[in-house]
Amino acid sequence: MMEMKIFTYGSMSEGFVHFDKIKDFILRNAAARSMGRVYRLKVGFPVFVENGGDLVPGSLLTLKNNELLLNILDEFHGVNRDDREKSLYFRNKVDVETEHGPDKAWVYSFNPAKLPKTAVLIVGGDWMSSLHQEPALTAKLTDRQKNYICRLANISGREIVPINDLSLYRELMNLELIVDKGRRLALSKLGYEVHRYLE
């Protein structure tokens, strides 16, 4: 059986929201580290940037080599194969360290040119401790907030999703997750980012 290796961190790690997308393809899962830098986005989850001086913790996943899975992961991470500069993430091979020694693996590293001004460097690269100290925004949302965000994300065209709860409206506006377009509400850029982590 053909295999491929991916270094994962953040939401793709075991116990986090996107791990379920890949768990059925995993043959082996080992603790690993790779040199880079890690930033926290406003949504609360970390992004990995190459060429940093921190040993960033993560997992070395050995997966069934599946071209469809790789295409889905590329699309999820906004990899643009035709124009690298337009990519949100790059998929590159990096050196990783495990307890069994050095290895190489794919990693989805954030395009530094697209790093938001609100991103905060996690000094030392320990994103796990950072998330334990300050959970991601998605972990702080109530079920009714999540439900309304998902309803807004799934509308098409100029469809209107009413909000009959003024306190819910205020909460979502204060969190900068929705924008009021007069006759209808829509997700903000942060709202769409939060929705990616709720799926």
| Statement to judge: residues 181 and 89 lie in one domain | no
Given a cut of 80, whether residue 192 has pLDDT beyond it is: yes
| Statement to judge: residues 116 and 187 lie in one domain | no
| Statement to judge: residues 33 and 61 lie in one domain | yes
Cβ proximity of 84 and 90 under 8 Å: yes
pLDDT the model gives residue 65? 81
Tell me the percentage of the chain whose pLDDT exceeds 90. Answer: 75
DSSP 76: H
Q: How confident is the model at residue 198 (pLDDT cuts 50, 70, 90)?
A: confident
Q: What is the CATH number of the domain that holds 93?
A: 3.10.490.10
What value does the mean pLDDT take over residues 76-103? 94
- Of 89, 99, 87, give the one whose Cα is nearest residue 59: 99
- Of 118, 110, 195, give the one whose Cα is nearest residue 150: 195
Q: Alpha helix (H) ranges present in the chain?
A: 67-76, 127-133, 137-140, 143-153, 166-174, 189-196
Structural domain ending residue among the three candidates 132, 158, 178: 132
| Statement to judge: residues 106 and 80 lie in one domain | yes
Q: Which two tokens stand for residue 152?
A: 């807004």
Q: How far apart are CA 50 and CA 92, in angstroms?
A: 9
> Can you give the residue range of the structural domain that contains 146?
141-196
**What DSSP element (H or E) covers 93?**
strand 89-98
| Statement to judge: residues 69 and 111 lie in one domain | yes
| Statement to judge: residues 126 and 81 lie in one domain | yes
Instruction: Please identify which residue in the block is written with the tokens 């989805």.
Output: 108
The count of residues in the chain is: 199
Given a cut of 70, whether residue 95 has pLDDT beyond it is: yes
Cβ proximity of 188 and 178 under 8 Å: yes
Overall number of domains in the chain: 2
**What DSSP element (H or E) covers 58?**
strand 46-64
**What would the pLDDT profile of 1-47 be if each residue is shown by its tens digit?**
688 999 999 999 998 889 988 999 999 999 999 999 999 999 999 99
pLDDT the model gives residue 67? 85
- Of 94, 108, 98, 93, give the one whose Cα is nearest residue 30: 98
| Statement to judge: residues 13 and 102 lie in one domain | yes
pLDDT the model gives residue 28? 94
The answer for residues whose C-beta is within 8 angstroms of residue 52's C-beta and 6 or more apart is 35, 36, 37, 38, 125
| Statement to judge: residues 103 and 151 lie in one domain | no
Given a cut of 90, whether residue 104 has pLDDT beyond it is: yes
| Statement to judge: residues 15 and 72 lie in one domain | yes
| Statement to judge: residues 170 and 188 lie in one domain | yes
Tell me the percentage of the chain whose pLDDT exceeds 70. Answer: 99
pLDDT the model gives residue 112? 95
What value does the mean pLDDT take over residues 89-116? 95
**What would the pLDDT profile of 113-161 be if each residue is shown by its tens digit?**
999 999 999 999 999 999 999 999 999 999 999 999 998 898 877 778 8
| Statement to judge: residues 16 and 76 lie in one domain | yes
Q: How far apart are CA 199 and CA 178, in angstroms?
A: 18
- Of 64, 54, 59, 125, give the one whose Cα is nearest residue 98: 59
| Statement to judge: residues 62 and 87 lie in one domain | yes
